[in-house]
A and B are shown apart, each in its own frame.
Chain A
Amino acid sequence: QKEVEQNSGPLSVPEGAIASLNCTYSDRGSQSFFWYRQYSGKSPELIMFIYSNGDKEDGRFTAQLNKASQYVSLLIRDSQPSDSATYLCAVNIYAGGTSYGKLTFGQGTILTVHP
């Protein structure tokens, strides 16, 4: 089993719809969870992070975390064509001591928002 798994898609949604991106992780020691967006040919950029169970909202984006189910998701409301990109789920496993652990990325989900 991969440490971080995502449905690779592609996920296609019409403009204005809700896009739902899902991610599962294997290590129960995981502490921090991140969603990065990567446009084609560009570098990843952070959209949201979440540390606690529940929902976290930022504009059109909502991150949801369920540590019991080892599941994190990203909802994009009112999807726009400019949201078309690859979305990477990243999970931080805290190594303890003075280290802040390291990020493990999922394979990414390709999202296409069509007009």
Chain B
Amino acid sequence: QSVLTQPPSVSAAPGQKVTISCSGSSSNIEINYVSWYQQLPGTAPKLLIYDNNKRPSGIPDRFSGSKSGTSATLGITGLQTGDEADYYCGTWDSSLSAGLFGGGTKLTVL
């Protein structure tokens, strides 16, 4: 059971929008930056969002991140079949002095 809680799965139709939540606590999300990763089957994770809401070069603006209190959210608009993947949130926990990942959310584009 992960300290960061994500929904196991989400789904939406092509072209639609989806959000993925990541719930933590006062020792992790509330006081540290959150990053988001996309993992396609059989590949290494890829950084989508860092510092809560920044996109690395090459990541389309269809992907967005936000944070409020002890929760963070990844948003994906204009869904494409190529977006089908597992998505993970990550942050540092200052009480545990350890890195944390959410349990992952499987996105299905119907």
B is a partner of A: no
